Amino acid sequence: MVQEEIRRRNAGALLRYVHLLGAVSRAELAERMGLNRSTIMALTTELTRVGLVHEELPTDTGRAGRPSLLVRPAADRFYVLAFDVAVDRLVAARVGLGGSILERRTAVRPRAGPDLHEVVEVLARFGRQLHRAAPPDAICVGVGASYCGMIRPGDGMVRFGPDLGWVDQAFGAELGRRLGLGLPVTVGNEAHLGAQAEQQRGAGVGFQNLIYLHGDVGVGGGIIVGGRLLGGDGGYGCELGHMVVNPHDGRPCGCGSYGCLEAEVGERALLDVAGRPAELFGREAIRSVTDDADRGDPAAREALRQIGDWLGIGVANLINLFNPGMVVFGGMLCDLYPGAAAQVRSRIARNVLPVARENVRLRTAALGDDATLVGAAELGFAPLLADPLGRPADTGRRAAGSCR
């Protein structure tokens, strides 16, 4: 019984490596997992039997001797549906085992207005289209969604979605119902998912302590501590956007307070400081400021300097608290950070204790705007990766049956 449990756990660990690394030799799997080659062979044989991986000879090893077989995820056979409710768009995608985005649908999302049913309507339609377009033998193993708000981990309830004004909306349950695939929908906060995606597949691979800042209208955060996402008691931690950095002279924040980090470095702050008209908003408006700064426009450069100083205070505070190996800037901060980097680094030098900043690196998100969608897909894959051999090989098909 213990042996059987170990075998299943090892199969999950092996499939996770293959899922994350894409194509990996048996020899490398043996080394990474600390198992001998015959155990690896037994595991890959089983995973091949149920169709989750393929094995193949490497094209050219450049070495003499029998080459180690390459193990690849069956991206064409097993997939998830991933959804992203971002501040400016609604995205649905079919993502194959291994993590590649096979197909996607995107709609522009109005800044204000859409209620739960309107959002779910669009996403569920996209989801059904993607599902129908999948090859006939492909199996849908899970559904994950990213939402720009505070999510109750157990059931995907949106506790607070500031930009849409949603409070206690049963997003996960409703999307699951409207998809009609017989699969639960796991929902996560967009910055949490972005952090996990960047750590697993992006700029932060190999980092056990990582801070991801996701900017759009506000600033969300995902913080990896010792390899795991910081949740806190209710799963509502990481709200770095509401860290007060400017208590006595701060800009009003959407949360009702003043001087929060997101009020000082969010989209509205940058556009105001850069002197842009109040009716402008969105990524294009932000890029016009960063482009002007690149061209040497003094007002745009000064705006980036001011915003960079506030961002630097926030990042310095976070480095003092978390002693991370890496800080990743995502969302619109991907665009903003390069022009603000000097100011951020100067604040870190001034405000972080030397031993805590010895080895920290600052990067923009390697997955760009897909970080949140990729993180949502991982939510969908989680049950399969936890126990790929736990169910008879045809259970997936039965789930697929109820899917279609």
Residues that bind its own copies (CB under 8 A): 2, 150, 159-160, 208-209, 221, 223, 225-226, 228, 230-240, 242-249, 255-257, 260, 313, 316-317, 320-325, 350-356, 358-360
Q: Which residue has the tokens 């699951």?
A: 176
Report in angstroms how near the CB of residue 217 gets to its own copies at its nearest: 15
What is the SS3 assignment for 293-340? HHCCCHHHHHHHHHHHHHHHHHHHHHHHHHCCCEEEEEECHHHHHHHH
Report in angstroms how near the CB of residue 330 gets to its own copies at its nearest: 18
3-class state of residue 161 by DSSP = strand
Nearer to its own copies, 194 or 396 (CB): 194
d(CA 258, CA 255) in angstroms, rounded, equals: 8
Angle at the Cα of 390 (from 403 to 133), degrees rounded to 5? 25
3-class state of residue 211 by DSSP = strand
Nearer to its own copies, 73 or 241 (CB): 241
Residue in 281, 275, 319, 277 with CA at minimum distance from that of residue 297: 275
Report in angstroms how near the CB of residue 250 gets to its own copies at its nearest: 10
Pairing of strands 78-85, 139-147: parallel
Residue in 23, 153, 132 with CA at minimum distance from that of residue 79: 132
User: Token digits for 278?
Assistant: 């109040």
Report in angstroms how near the CB of residue 169 gets to its own copies at its nearest: 13
Residue in 131, 117, 115, 121 with CA at minimum distance from that of residue 82: 131
CA atoms within 13 A on the CB side of 313: 17
Report in angstroms how near the CB of residue 34 gets to its own copies at its nearest: 15
Contacts of 38 (CB under 8 A, 6+ apart): none
Nearer to its own copies, 140 or 352 (CB): 352
Nearer to its own copies, 42 or 225 (CB): 225
Nearer to its own copies, 185 or 245 (CB): 245
Q: Which residues, in sequence order, are bridge partners of residue 72?
A: 54
Nearer to its own copies, 278 or 355 (CB): 355
Nearer to its own copies, 227 or 275 (CB): 227
Report in angstroms how near the CB of residue 238 gets to its own copies at its nearest: 7
Report in angstroms how near the CB of residue 350 gets to its own copies at its nearest: 6
3-class state of residue 392 by DSSP = coil
